[in-house]
Structure 1
Amino acid sequence: MSFKAALGFFASLAITALLSVNAARAEPVKLVGFGDSLMAGYQLPATDAFPVKLEKALREKGYEVEIANAGVSGDTSSGGLARLDWSIPEGTQGVILELGANDALRGIPPEQTEKNLDAMLTRLKERGIAVLLAGMLAPPNMGPDYGERFNGIYRRMAEKHGAALYPFFLDGVVTKANLQLDDGMHPNSEGVDVMVATMLPAAEAFIKSIPAKE
């Protein structure tokens, strides 16, 4: 083989390898939004649910991503733990984990909530699935003692398991009636837009931290 032919051959191999790498990275990152009614999109059209709107926002920023909605209205951390394994399919690369709001509303001991989140994070880590933990705050009517015990759960769990942390899922919405449904608890469509815009930088950083499939 002549030098020119050999050079062409190896150049062709390099281009093929580069195209293969780019094709592999072009595969969508598969995420699951796992949570309660705040994730599910309570009383909203399916297209207005948080995972759907976050996926759209990320795609508009140039990210190839698919986000499945595994939110169940009324779910507690115990309910989430019970359904975790079958709700998170094989091939999932990352989970946005949002649970605990209903625990606080029902006055479930924060220690139980923490135990359940700990178990979920452990299982996901064992499966090699990255987690963005979406935090929650206890309602003020639960009192300062309950709030102190509950509000520190998410940071402790993120630090323990090396998970990414988004401190408060309802950031920018919780005190604004125009962004909530009439129940004063759940976001309306405009509220979901605010939640998505506020979380977007954290979601981008989370996606960048997930290794590309080999």
Structure 2
Amino acid sequence: MRIAGILLLWLLSPAGWAVTVLVLGDSLSAGYGIEVERGWVALLEQRLQKEHKDARVVNASISGETTAGGRRRLPALLARHRPNIVILELGGNDGLRGIPPQRMAANLAAMIDQARQAGARVLLLGMKIPANYGPRYRRQFEVVFQRLARDKQVAFVPFFLQDVALRPGLMQADGIHPNAEAQDEMLARVWPALAAMLN
């Protein structure tokens, strides 16, 4: 049964890939300020192809992207790449711009639904924002990811930068973007949840 399932995925996936992972994110996944090939998404593709040689990663991340932008772009990406798994790494820019959490939640929920309707499973990466945005907004922002993961029953990483944010030597000078040395830690945060989906 497993062999038949893999064969079916191979036949249905573009270029014969059995597993296609689509990463839809912002600057954290686009490799802002570092060489793209050193970013966590590139490292993910390298690891996937070592352990699952019939897997590929499509990085559709754009620096500055918001959940609204991701929602607009996702349908075309799903139609073009036909991913089996969609990793959603969006929301940080919504928070930094003070966008109402309810609007961010609606956009993320719509993307989860779009991905599922296209036959893909979803891995949601949670985010936190700096303390200067105030405790009330911070709580509302963080709860969005937790509630979506629970209500939509999707795979979830509570805080994508858990082992990176505010850690000396892993952030760029702007204090917002991780440096090249942080990318392995970012991948390590994502990998367990993704590996469970692959298996």
* Pairwise TM-score range, normalised by the shorter structure: 0.7 to 0.9
SS at match of 2:49: helix
Query: 3-state SS of the aligned residue for 2:60?
Result: strand
Decide whether the 8 Å contact of 1:177 with 1:184 is kept in 2: no
Give the drift of 1:143.
Answer: 0.6
Partner of 2:13: none
Residue 126 of structure 1 corresponds to: 117
Q: Which residue of 1 aligns with 2:52?
A: 63
2:146 is the counterpart of 1:155 = yes
CA deviation after TM superposition for structure 1 residue 39, in Å:
0.8
- Which residue identity lines up with residue 52 of structure 2 in the other structure? Y
Q: Is the 8 A contact 1:104 1:139 kept in 2?
A: no
**CA distance in 2 between partners of 1:72 and 1:23 (Å):** 31
Counterpart CA distance in 2 for 1:117 and 1:76 is: 10
Q: Tell me which residue corresponds to 1:179.
A: 170
- Give the aligned CA root-mean-square deviation in angstroms: 2.1
* Distance in 2 between residues matched to 1:23 and 1:162, nearest whole Å: 24
Pick the aligned partner of 1:72 from 62, 75, 79: 62
Structure 1 outlier segments of 4+, above 4 Å: 20-23
Tell me if 1:197 matches 2:188: yes
- Give the distance between the partners of 1:32 and 1:205, measured in 2 at CA: 16
> What residue is the counterpart of 2:94 in the other structure?
103
Provide the C-alpha distance between the structure 2 equivalents of 1:174 and 1:23, rounded to a whole number of angstroms.
Answer: 38
Q: Report if the CA contact (8 A) 2:157-2:189 is conserved.
A: no
Please give the alpha-carbon distance, in whole angstroms, between the structure 1 residues aligned to 2:137 and 2:114. 27
TM-superposed CA distance for 1:28, in Å, is 3.5
Give the AA of the match of 1:39.
S
Tell me the TM-score normalized by structure 2.
0.87
Aligned to 2:24: 34
Partner residue, 1:53: 43
1:99-147 deviation line (CA, Å, top 9, x unaligned):
0000111111111111111111111111111000001112211111101
How many Å separate the matches in 1 of 2:6 and 2:131? 50
What CA distance in whole angstroms lies between the structure 1 residues aligned with 2:60 and 2:102? 24
In structure 1, what residue type is equivalent to 2:117? E
Distance in 2 (CA, whole Å) between partners of 1:192 and 1:203 is 16
SS state at 1:170 partner: coil
Partner of 1:10: none
Aligned partners of 1:58 and 1:200 also within 8 Å: no
Counterpart position of 1:44 = 34
**Number of positions where the alignment pairs a residue of Structure 1 with one of Structure 2:** 190
Q: Structure 1 residue 177: deviation in Å?
A: 3.2
- Counterpart CA distance in 2 for 1:186 and 1:106 is 16
**SS of residue matched to 2:24:** strand
Q: Which runs of 5+ in 2 are unaligned?
A: 11-16
SS of 2:169's partner is helix
Of 190-199 and 102-111, deviating more is 190-199
Query: For structure 1, which runs of at least 5 residues remain unmatched after alignment?
Result: 1-16, 209-214
Structure 1 contact 31–96 (Cα < 8 Å) conserved: yes
What is the DSSP-based 3-state SS (H/G/I as helix, E as strand, rest coil) of the residue aligned with 1:67? strand
Structure with max Cα Rg: 1
Alignment partners' CA distance in 2, 1:91 and 1:118: 19
Structure 1 position 84 matched with structure 2 position 74 = yes
Contact 1:81 1:120 in 2 (8 A): yes
